[in-house]
Structure 1
Amino acid sequence: MSTVKLGNGKSFRGIGINTFESKEGLYPVVSGADVAMNSESKGNARFCFDNTLDPSKVKGRLVYCTLSQWGVDSVVKGIGGIGTIVESEQYLDTAQIFMAPATMVNSTVGETIQNYIHSTRSPTAVVYKSEEFKIPAPSVASFSSRGPNPGSHRILKPDIAAPGVDILAAYTLVKSLTGLKGDTQRSKFTLMSGTSMACPHVAGVAAYVKSFHPTWTPAAIKSAIMTTAKPMSKRVNKDAEFSYGAGQLNPARAINPGLVYDIDEMSYVQFLCHEGYSGSSIAHLIGTKSVNCSSLLPGFGYDALNYPSMQLNMKNSQQPNVGVFKRRVTNVGPPSVYNATIKAPKGLQITVRPTSLLFTRLLQKRSFKVVVVAKPELSTKFRVLSASLVWKTTHHTVRSPIVVYSLPD
């Protein structure tokens, strides 16, 4: 975070990576809208677009800009400005790297700064060098995609959450840190955010699990990652499992999950048939000439897939919605007795049969059935009910999220 201090003594915290020390105490500060090149560019000057600001009014000053596109720091610095304060209406949960003294503030802080600029003849401000600031974690980034899964209303997505905000990542010396005109900052490392950072974390954990269990299938590895994840808070993430799936991945626990939900190739074919895909489209996926769905045994249960999570869409607002999920787990730990625990909110009735699973040897399989009954409810908004099934011994906890949701009527 970078602190902005105004000439009236008020200070505000902004988001961004600003490595520049302030050479003076305070600098003159202007609003981009007030230093337009001409009357024609006044409308775009508040966004500090290229060729919209008057260099003579910007030189030696901090410029207040409204975010429309990245790179306003390059524009301001390129015409002699000191740096910029950028107002963003987006939720500020990632740190943008700047090539000049700069920071990003929300619209509430921005309004206060704008009012100050226009309340005095000689407004001044300074943006201090960024400092590390700790916030509660984990939480799901505002830009992370959410469910429900458009591809299937029976399968919960996302599967898992992983670190993906302000991640220290390897970088090239060939390119500047921002890639903007005039930027001379170069480093072998940078901070990056997004799926490009989260995916390597999960891929690394998958490889880590594979190194301990080289014969495991991709489905077994995925199951291990999901069922050992650390549950995340619905209070912090209002979209609940539709934002974080099974939770935050836990590499140390994933190598020893106790039980796994395994899936073979035919099970995926049965699932796709159950979802209504044509035999010809499935054949393209699996590399065969044809698939006759009508000749195959149907997949078992509501979702027809031995998945580590369960999801039910409440389509009927007049009668109870019922989902019967059939699962089979494989023991990958010592002989044990696993006992089931169900956690469900008001409005959901969930039963599991049997309630105990006895394993006497490695790779032994046991089947069970979960019945989810959701009370009918008329809804005018998106609604998510979060539940879970946990199979537990003294040494293992195997958790599967159960999500019931309704879309607006």
Structure 2
Amino acid sequence: MGPVPTQWRGACDNHNDSTFNCNRKLIGARYFNKGCLAFLASINISRPSSLIDSPRDFSGHGTHTLSTGAGRFVPSANCLGYGNGTAKGGAPNARVAAYKVCWPPIHSPGCFGSDILAAFDQAIHDRVHVLTVSLSGGNANYFDDGIAIGAFHAVKNGITVVCAAGNSGPAYGSLSNTAPWIITVGASTIDREIQTDVLVANTNIRIKGQSYSTSKLPGKKYYPLIISTDAKSANASAQNATNCLINSLDPVKVKGKIVVCKWGWSSAIENGEVVRDAGGVGLVVANGPYSGHFIFVEPNVIPATHVSYKDGITLLNYINSTRSPMGNITAPQTTLGVKPSPVMAAFSSRGPNKYNEEILKPDIVAPGVNILAAISEAGNPIGIDIGNKRILFYFETGTSMACPHIAGIAGLLRAMHPDWSPAAIRSAIMTSATVKDNEHLPIRDANLTNATPFDYGSGHVRPNHAMNPGLVYDLSPADYLNFVCALGYNSSQLAMFTKPHLCPDTPINIENLNYPSIAVPKLLNKAKITRRVKNVGTIGTYTVRVEEPRGVSVRVRPTKIKFKNWVKKRSLRLC
């Protein structure tokens, strides 16, 4: 699909049609804003000029995620020359439908539940196969959560729904979109970086970082280095100077120098503008302890780089121990094969699932850092003066970017296995994931300590392995309703959610919901867990292999399952 055009070409309702030029009703781009307009009317706020009745993407977020999920092959895709190569989405031949539900925030977040639900209804009517939803949602009461409600009805109609886990990490219990009928996606790094290094004069110190800019420092010249707090303006607080916020730096102290700031309350772009306006020639943004090793690339108005917490300490120690600290920032270059990779993104929201601990979330992680994808031409995504350059692709970071990676894979699986349910597709993706990085070591978090299932769920996605999972853990809409019954919802509440459903006389044990992962939140002495597996592969025998969590003994019965022509499903019991 490449750069998303201003005028969308639609896809036909009849998915067997081989061309966009069909005579049936077209699916293209739609917008939903009645909920937003109703809210404005309720608080007597006149409609702002920025709220335009159009599905056009003025922020770039929707274009970026959609092209990640289903972009066509585009040669020489790059952002200002960096990351150059052939780009494509996860399912490059998929037809796409865009549903705009978010608007400029006015006294409230700009995505209203009624508009989200209207878009879900339209998607069901349009008979889409996969929905990628890069929006945060989450409520202990699923009936008050527009995303959870809409996703349930979509899944009931055979649509796989993939949602972002959220960007509130690394705090535990911070994830959203926790409903078990949703595929919840966290974010990890990739093995490509836009590398810019700090060179320290008269030493062997070379600190690796990431950033890119339209300007460069001369390669053989060194400039004075100064810590931002040492350049604090008279009326600024120490905290504002630490983070290089507006009007926090003294131009007399900054002029002609490279300033070292702490990454905090603003973006590196804003930090660069502050340093530039104060007369600085370069910027180093250093992580705090929570961000650790995690770095993502941002554009800048001056030569700049973003470095890890450990490397930032090294640089600060050098500056504080040297009478005349000098340094340079190298020109950006695209590097591949970065190790270790993947690493959990520091911002990626973590489990456990604070609403239902028995359902392990996130389900899966996928690339969500420095993702190059198409961007809307309706605005300047970089937010800085780039002259007459046209930005068709842009690096973005977030679980919003990870989400469409999984959606694209789900689309491919749906095309390969049209008889698979949304639960079977999720199972194939989860059970084929890996918990190892490209150094064959356990996936690590931003501090390079071993990550856990509360960070990555089942692990990092492996698309090719998901094609043939052998066995899947399947679930039906009735199973999800029985799960909701077990949470204590009554018939009246269920009637608000779906058609009448008769709850079992004895509520199910939530831990026995046939989910591809298992979580036992209150393990005292022992627990018995049951799962049902469905054979979607060849006839044969499967042997159980267990890697026990530390301090826990696990037994599975039976230890072998044999499938014949007439046998499709079998049960397993874990003790």
TM-score norm. by structure 2 comes to 0.57
Aligned residues of 2:342 and 2:443 also touching (Cα < 8 A): no
Equivalent position to 2:464, from 248, 252, 273: 252
More strand by share: 1
1:407 paired residue number: none
- Structure 1 distance, partners of 2:329, 2:573, is 57
- Structure 2 distance, partners of 1:3, 1:325, is 52
Give the superposed CA RMSD: 2.7
Q: C-alpha deviations, 1:269-322, integer Å up to 9, x for none?
A: 11122233333333333x22x5453x55643x5624111121112353xxx132
Q: C-alpha deviations, 1:311-337, integer Å up to 9, x for none?
A: 112353xxx132x22222222122222
Aligned residues of 1:4 and 1:14 also touching (Cα < 8 A): yes
In structure 1, what residue type is equivalent to 2:396?
A: M
Equivalent position to 1:7, from 177, 192, 201: 201
Q: C-alpha deviations, 1:92-128, integer Å up to 9, x for none?
A: 4232313111112345544454454455564432111
Superposed, which structure 2 residues align to 1:9-408 within 5 Å?
9-19=203-213, 20-23=215-218, 25-37=221-233, 39-41=234-236, 43=238, 44-68=240-264, 69-70=266-267, 71-89=270-288, 90-99=291-300, 100-117=302-319, 122-131=324-333, 132=335, 134-180=338-384, 182=385, 184=387, 187-232=391-436, 234=442, 236-237=444-445, 238-285=450-497, 287-288=498-499, 290-293=500-503, 295-296=504-505, 298-299=507-508, 303-316=511-524, 320-322=525-527, 324-345=528-549, 347-361=551-565, 364-372=567-575
Between the two proteins, what is the percent identity of the paired residues?
36
- Structure 1 distance, partners of 2:271, 2:303, is 12
Which has the larger Rg?
1
TM-score norm. by structure 1 comes to 0.79
- Structure 2 distance, partners of 1:351, 1:108, is 43
- Structure 2 distance, partners of 1:178, 1:11, is 31
Gap regions ≥5 residues in structure 1: 373-409
Aligned residues of 1:259 and 1:333 also touching (Cα < 8 A): yes
- Structure 1 distance, partners of 2:429, 2:489, is 28
Total equivalences in the alignment: 361
Aligned residues of 1:234 and 1:240 also touching (Cα < 8 A): no
Q: C-alpha deviations, 1:125-144, integer Å up to 9, x for none?
A: 21111232612122322221
Q: C-alpha deviations, 1:237-293, integer Å up to 9, x for none?
A: 5342111111221211212222221111111111122233333333333x22x5453
Q: C-alpha deviations, 1:138-176, integer Å up to 9, x for none?
A: 232222122111121211111112111222222234544
Aligned residues of 1:27 and 1:60 also touching (Cα < 8 A): yes
Secondary structure in 1 aligned to 2:275? helix
Aligned residues of 1:47 and 1:66 also touching (Cα < 8 A): yes
Secondary structure in 2 aligned to 1:350? coil
The 1:80/1:204 distance shift into structure 2, 3 A limit, reads same
The 1:111/1:371 distance shift into structure 2, 3 A limit, reads closer
Query: Which structure is richer in relative contact order (CA contacts within 8 A, separation 6 or more)?
Result: 2
The 1:352/1:52 distance shift into structure 2, 3 A limit, reads closer
Gap regions ≥5 residues in structure 2: 1-194
Secondary structure in 2 aligned to 1:41? coil
- Structure 1 distance, partners of 2:245, 2:551, is 53
